[in-house]
Amino acid sequence: MDAMTLRLLVEPQQGTTYDAVCAFAQRAEQLGFEALMTSDHLVRIGDGSPGPGPLHAWTLLAGLARDTHRIRLGTMMSAVTFHHASVLALTAAQVDVMSGGRLELGLGAAWYEREHQAYGIPLPSVTERFSRLEETLEVIRRLWTAPPGAEVTYQGRHIHLDRCPALPRPHQTPHPPLLVGGLGKRWTPRLAARYAHEFNAPFTTPEQVRAAARRVAAACEETGRDPREITVSASLVLCPGGDRTTLARRVADTGEPAAEIAGFGAVGSAKQVAEVLGAYRDAGAVRCYAQINNPLDLELLDDLAEVAELAGLPLPR
């Protein structure tokens, strides 16, 4: 089994500033974390308190691309309802160049109704959203892999391109990795098998991660793709801490009751959290993403680095 890596997932819609996320990313880079991803939401999820922010995901990534040097960056997940495929392909390619080839693009069908209401963006049916997601994945891949100087024409049910220039080119060859995630049993496995370099199971148990990975593997076999070409990952809530005060503060930052976090993460000592990571590794997750709601908590990075070491996932420095 491949060695697991521990990555980071910031949630800037919960209220933060660019300076806070940048300082967090730079400290994560110093500690040797492989990647820092950002969610892509337009309003706070939970109690509705606005706070500072939200931060626009792609503006944030453009800044981080210039203010960091090694750590990989990306979205989990950019919603196809408020990112048009061709414009997102252009934006992401430019950020990939700005970062020197460190971008990973996660795409999702969207789910949070409130942000669509707030910004006046239609939220179509689930079927239409997944259809849009499929076309978006196809269009972005075509634009990123078109020959130099080519123009792309595409006529789908939702997306129509008329001689769209396949520029700018991404830095990575053939293109930045594409991520697809979710626990759906029909659309998600099929789209992951066809397009994804990585499949992410978000905030669920090891058993459900294993089941979701099996569905993706089965979809790969149906399409003639080797399932080993797709990296399986899991997003988790991890609250390590050496005392009750620290643990209580970090649980409060998550917005989740401590008793419920056991279903999609861990609360406890570094050793206890490391044991939970081991369970996800045994379930087939090659990467785990620790959700970060409070990027001002820089000491959390040191504790997560200790968790990684105890779990046998030492961070390269």
Task: Report how far residue 140's alpha carbon sits from residue 144's, in angstroms, rounded to the nearest whole number.
Answer: 6
Looking at residue 3, what is its pLDDT? 80
Contact 233, 192 (CB under 8 A): no
pLDDT given at position 96: 98
pLDDT value of residue 309: 95
pLDDT tens for 25-61 read: 999 999 999 999 999 999 999 866 667 878 999 999 9
pLDDT at 226: 97
Structure confidence at residue 170 (pLDDT): 98
Find all residues with CB under 8 Å of 108, minimum gap 6, and list them: 77, 78, 79, 80, 133, 180, 181, 182
Question: How many Å apart are CA 81 and CA 266, to the nearest integer?
Answer: 32
Q: What is the pLDDT of residue 2?
A: 62
pTM comes to 0.96
Q: Looking at residue 207, what is its pLDDT?
A: 97
pLDDT of residue 223: 94
Task: From the options 3.40.50.300, 1.10.3720.10, 3.20.20.30, 3.40.190.10, give the CATH code of 5-310.
Answer: 3.20.20.30
Q: How far apart are CA 77 and CA 285, in angstroms?
A: 18
Q: Where are the domains of the chain?
A: 5-310
- Residue 252 CA to residue 258 CA, distance in Å, equals 8
Which residues sit opposite 107 in a β-bridge?
Answer: 78, 180
The pLDDT of residue 48: 63
pLDDT, tens only, 124-169: 999 999 999 999 999 999 999 999 889 999 999 999 999 999 999 9
Is the Cβ–Cβ distance between 38 and 78 less than 8 Å? no
pLDDT less than 50: residues of the chain: 1
For the CA atoms of the chain, what is the radius of gyration?
Answer: 19
Closest by CA position to 106, among listed 67, 143, 130, 133: 133
CA–CA separation, 201 vs 287, rounded Å?
10
Tokens matching residue 18: 């660019």
pLDDT at res. 313? 87
Q: Find out whether the peptide bond into 295 is cis, omega within 30 degrees of 0.
A: no
- Residues 6 or more apart from 288 whose CB is under 8 A from it? 4, 5, 6, 7, 233, 234, 235, 236, 277, 280, 281
Q: What was the pLDDT predicted at 38?
A: 98
Mean pLDDT, the chain, integer: 95
User: In the prediction, which pLDDT does 53 show?
Assistant: 73
